[in-house]
Amino acid sequence: MSTLDATRAELGLVVLYLNKAEARDKICRAIQYGSKFLSNGQPGTAQNVDKSTSLARKVFRLFKFVNDLHALISPTPQGTPLPLILLGKSKNALLSTFLFLDQIVWLGRSGIYKNKERAELIGRISLFCWMGSSICTTLSELGEIGRLSGSMKKLEKDLKGSDKYENEQYRAKLKKSNERTLSLIKASIDIVVAAGLLQLSPKKITPRVTGAFGFTSSLISCYQLLPSPAAKSKAA
């Protein structure tokens, strides 16, 4: 492959990535929380970037609540334990509510919705919904990782005497386990971010701490949205 072909393929991947509205939202999120970390809640350029990026992100999320509403009423995979089903549905319900209420917050900050006090109250309720969905995600991922770990140990016994990493089924389960572990870490971080935005512990979770955790969570999200190997080979 020539240098021009390689460059074209790499640019194709960048275009593929940036064409995702979710990817652009997470890049803006990284800018938002990076600015929050730099400003540490103090007036200035960094705080202005934080506020303007936060407002812009709300436009990206318009009507996004429909996604989780659809997931809420969709059937779950057979064999899923009832506690995990309830956690998953609770997460969908809370996240859908957060995204819906966030639109009212955007209307308030844009000056369309005039009741400022009610808009601020709705904003706090929406953040509590987001925190609740992150807690549900954390518990759900812990349960799913436990299920995967059990099935992997069973498969290891069946593959005794052979290299488990050469088994396609084992590799697929290991990949899924790694993905869920990353989602668990992200959800746990988001709980801290939500607590910081709600100022539940302002002395410990300062704007700088909130910014650092939010920036880390955003980077994880950006990584999770990277094109799959199949998409990479197609771009090449």
Residue (of 198, 57, 202, 195) closest to 134 by Cα position: 195
pLDDT of residue 100: 95
Which band of pLDDT confidence, cut at 50, 70 and 90, is reported for residue 235? very low
| Token pair in block for residue 193 | 């971010």
Tens of pLDDT, residue by residue over 24-53, are 899 999 999 999 999 998 999 999 999 999
pLDDT at residue 234 greater than cutoff 60 = no
- Non-local (6+) Cβ contacts of 80 within 8 A are 88
pLDDT at position 231 is 52
Rounded to whole angstroms, the Cα distance separating 62 from 40 reads 28
Maximum distance among all Cα pairs of the chain, rounded to whole angstroms:
70
Token pair listed for 124: 């706090």
- Please tell me whether residue 18 adopts helix, strand or coil conformation: helix
- pLDDT the model gives residue 167: 84
User: Alpha carbon of 78 to those of 3, 19, 88: distances in Å?
Assistant: 48, 34, 14
Give mean pLDDT, residues 193-199: 96
Higher pLDDT, 193 or 109: 193
Residue 31 falls in which region: left (phi positive, over 0), alpha (psi -120 to 50) or beta:
alpha
Confidence of residue 206 (pLDDT cuts 50, 70, 90): very high
Q: Determine contact, residues 84/73, Cβ cutoff 8 Å.
A: no
Q: How many CA atoms lie within 13 A of 97 on its CB side?
A: 18
Task: Give the mean pLDDT of 212-233.
Answer: 83
Instruction: Kindly report, residue by residue over 77-87, the tens digit of the pLDDT.
Output: 888 899 999 99
**Model confidence over 166-187: pLDDT tens digits?**
888 988 999 999 999 999 999 9
Say what the pLDDT of residue 157 is.
Answer: 86
